[in-house]
């Protein structure tokens, strides 16, 4: 009996509800997937997903592709997806791949609402669950939040036909929050909002305004009673409903992003025609919505389907972030102050990353020479979220290390975009400054692939001052690792290095570019660094800042590159433990002292003296086909994060480097700066086979080996 009790978070549901759920589990009518069950028991974030969008909302194979992508989005945002469906008379909370494919392909599945549920279960049939049945199942399994495209509502002319979706009445007496793009725009939105008020359902728009969304478009012309500006505020609203003991649910309306919204006029015209055709053909009841949606797709030549998929994915992102925030709040709520104090005392040290975050625009000119003086250059323009510090914190978060990220953004639209994109990270150290612009960087790339022009509005990085960072001194002193990027002021670098040195905290300096690489080396700060990871030009700038002789010209041949990198690294190793020189397509050169005959990346204790013998190891890059290379801007940061993850998990040197190389290869193959496919398994050399791992080539005497195979 007790094994069922662990499925339900304390105070979330009544004893009666738990008893019913245990009976359903015992009778086999409710089947909770093991991964979902484990997540619920450990009070992790779980997102329930309905399945009529699979069975009746889209054609095959788009429905299966969309369902898989939505589940992947939930996973990427650190939550567990639980798609709900009915398979042969059993309600499944969390579907296997085979069951997902069965629902997507089958022509025999039913659309199951509350009214249909007893019949479908008693007959052993299969079906897609509407919002009403999905929130029933989610509630019984102990999942407080459901994501869908749009809920049902009051149909047009519903005041005469009384055609009202059971989604609304179910929300009125089931305490589950639903995240959706409002109600389907084929319905009477105004009367639906009135009916939700009658049912006692709290409705709020996710965003800065109370504009209630209209499914395909961000604004319906109607207002929600309330709005929540971010996931934390949404989670507090949902948690309050649960903890006060209200029986009704919450509806969070998420407007579709403007760039994904379909033309309102085109959609409205298609809806009017489809509704008229349904009336003429005598289509009624639960068959109305599938008919109208399919007809709208035909009339808009697929625009509505594309928009439908976009809004579902957007809802999954927002819903996952809300679920994570809700899980954090619930976990903290159910612990006594003494427990929280004890956990704080024994909490493991976490990394701290201090650096810039910005919006990146990459403009690639399609062909020919760039034309100046007014003509338009045909280009491909892509926006992404970047910044060296942010990239490091993003990648470390995906590798399970949950670093504290300290940075600064503005209150403008770019700042809001950054904040929402970084919902999976600990951004409690990010200052939000109303009188400053968030950082923006624009790179203009020639058809040859070379950087032609770089433009940046980076002044906000100067606000990451030593005074601001000192607010987090306790976290820095107790950190397992500190990463600094070259965007922050030299005075801030100096302050952090001094604090870290007092507490023997290892520090890595990640240069952002040639001009920033020299910042620590203009003072004594650099002697407190443990690691640095420059490219060849940045290493040249470091040597020049120290007044050391530097080559007048940097080589391009690999043998000469390795030799010059090794020669310029040697003086830094008088104080640094390791210099990691990134060589692009030539791989990585690791320069360090030797301990017991091997290079060691693990931080030395303060009492230990620096090894007298110096050693270098050259690791060739992982081979990637040209057609697979989509983005190189985050490769170096991904490499550094993978390397740090290896160090912090106690891996030996070769494994640390290979973890970094694997992380870099994922980001190179991704359109995102930091690939969302990066996780602790995808960068594990023991699990990932990337051909034969090349053995590092050692150098002990300061001269590069003559190896033509490099």
- Supply the residues annotated as catalytic: 50, 184
**Please, what is the end-to-end C-alpha distance for the chain in angstroms?**
64
Per-residue burial over 387-396, b = 16 or more CB atoms within 10 Å of its CB, e = otherwise: bbbbbbbbbb
Helix (H, G, I), strand (E, B) or coil at 232: helix
User: In 3D, which of 274, 253, 259, 254 has the Cα closest to residue 306?
Assistant: 259
Longest dimension (CA), the chain: 90
Token pair for 8: 């339900």
Q: Helix or strand or coil: residue 459?
A: helix
Distance CA 508, CA 666 (A): 22
Query: What does the alpha-carbon distance between residue 429 and residue 472 come to, in Å, rounded to a whole number?
Result: 8
Q: Could you give phi then psi for residue 708, rounded to 5 degrees?
A: -70, -15
Is 102 exposed, middle or buried (CB count within 10 Å of its CB: 0-12, 13-18, 19+)? middle
Give dist(CA 631, CA 56) in Å, integer. 37
Q: Which two tokens stand for residue 269?
A: 């015209």
Residue 581 sits at φ, ψ, to 5 deg, of -95, 115
Exposure string for 302-319, b = 16+ CB within 10 A, e = fewer: ebbbebbbbbbbbbbbbb
Per 3-state DSSP, what percentage of the chain is helix, strand, and coil (rounded to 5)?
A: 45, 20, 35
CB proximity list for 304: less than 8 A, separation 6 or greater: 216, 262, 267, 270, 293, 296, 297
DSSP string for residues in 175-208: --EEEESBB-TTS-HHHHHHHHHHTT-EEEEESS
Residue 639 and residue 663 in contact, taking contact as beta carbons nearer than 8 Å: yes
Distances (CA, A) of 437 to 407, 456, 485: 13, 11, 20
CB 198 within 8 A of CB 173: no
């Amino acid at each position: 009996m007790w094994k069922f009790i662990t499925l339900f978070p304390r105070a979330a549901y009544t004893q009666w509800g738990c008893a019913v759920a245990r009976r359903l589990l015992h009778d086999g009518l409710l089947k909770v997937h093991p991964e979902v069950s484990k997540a619920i028991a450990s009070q992790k974030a779980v997102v329930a997903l309905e399945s009529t969008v699979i069975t009746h909302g889209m054609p095959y194979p788009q429905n299966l592709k969309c369902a898989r992508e939505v589940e992947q989005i939930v996973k990427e945002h650190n939550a567990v997806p639980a798609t709900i469906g009915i398979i042969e008379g059993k309600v499944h909370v969390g579907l296997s791949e085979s069951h997902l494919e069965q629902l997507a392909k089958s022509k025999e599945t039913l659309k199951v609402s509350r009214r249909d549920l007893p019949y479908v279960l008693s007959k052993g049939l299969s079906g897609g669950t509407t919002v009403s049945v999905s929130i029933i199942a989610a509630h019984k399994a102990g999942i407080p939040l459901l994501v869908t495209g749009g809920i049902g509502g009051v149909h047009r002319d519903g005041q005469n036909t009384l055609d009202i979706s059971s989604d609304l009445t179910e929300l009125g007496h089931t305490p589950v929050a639903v995240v959706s793009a409002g109600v389907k725009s084929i319905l009477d939105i105004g009367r639906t909002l009135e009916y939700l008020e009658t049912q006692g359902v709290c409705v709020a728009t996710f965003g800065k305004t109370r504009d209630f969304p209209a499914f395909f478009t961000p604004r319906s012309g109607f207002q929600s009673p309330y709005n929540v500006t971010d996931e934390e505020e949404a989670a507090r609203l949902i948690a309050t409903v649960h903890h006060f003991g209200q029986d009704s649910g919450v509806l969070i309306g998420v407007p579709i992003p403007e760039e994904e919204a379909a033309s309102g006029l085109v959609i409205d015209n298609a809806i009017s025609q489809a509704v008229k055709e349904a009336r003429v053909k005598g289509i009624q009841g639960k068959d109305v919505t599938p008919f109208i949606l399919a007809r709208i797709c035909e009339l808009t030549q697929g625009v509505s389907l594309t928009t439908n998929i976009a809004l579902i994915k957007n809802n999954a992102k927002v819903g996952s972030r809300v679920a994570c925030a809700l899980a954090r709040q619930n976990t903290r709520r159910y612990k006594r102050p003494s427990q929280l104090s004890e956990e704080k005392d024994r909490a493991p040290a976490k990394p701290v990353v201090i650096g810039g975050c910005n919006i990146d625009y990459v403009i690639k000119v399609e062909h020919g020479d760039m034309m100046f003086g007014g003509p338009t250059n045909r280009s491909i323009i892509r926006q992404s979220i970047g910044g060296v510090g942010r990239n490091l914190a993003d990648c470390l978060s995906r590798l399970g290390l949950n670093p504290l990220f300290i940075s600064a953004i503005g209150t403008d639209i770019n700042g809001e975009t950054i904040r929402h994109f970084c919902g999976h990270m600990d951004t409690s150290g990010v200052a939000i400054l109303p009188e400053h612009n968030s950082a923006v960087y624009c790179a203009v790339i020639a058809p040859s692939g070379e950087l032609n022009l770089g433009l940046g509005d980076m002044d906000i990085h100067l606000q990451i001052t030593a005074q601001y960072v000192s607010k987090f001194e306790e976290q820095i002193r107790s950190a397992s690792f500190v990463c600094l990027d070259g965007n922050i002021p030299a005075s801030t670098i100096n302050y952090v290095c001094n604090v870290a040195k007092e507490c023997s905290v290892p520090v890595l300096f990640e240069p952002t570019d040639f001009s920033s690489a020299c910042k620590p080396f203009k003072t004594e700060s650099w002697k407190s660094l443990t690691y640095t990871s420059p490219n060849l030009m940045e290493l040249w700038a470091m040597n020049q800042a120290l007044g050391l002789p530097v080559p007048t010209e940097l080589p391009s041949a690999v043998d000469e590159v390795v030799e010059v990198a090794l020669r310029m690294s040697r003086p830094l190793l008088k104080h640094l433990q390791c210099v990691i020189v990134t060589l692009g397509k030539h791989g990585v050169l690791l320069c360090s002292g030797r301990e017991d005959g091997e290079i060691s990346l693990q931080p030395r204790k303060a009492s230990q003296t620096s090894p007298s013998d110096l050693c270098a190891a050259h690791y060739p890059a992982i081979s990637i086909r040209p057609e697979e290379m989509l983005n190189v801007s985050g490769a170096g940061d991904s490499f550094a994060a993978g390397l740090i993850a290896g160090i912090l998990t106690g891996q030996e040197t070769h494994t640390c480097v290979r973890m970094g190389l694997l992380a870099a290869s994922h980001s190179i193959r991704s359109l995102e700066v930091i690939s969302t496919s990066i996780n602790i398994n995808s960068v594990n050399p023991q699990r990932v086979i990337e051909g034969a791992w090349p053995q590092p080539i050692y150098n002990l005497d300061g001269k590069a080996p003559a190896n033509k195979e490099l």
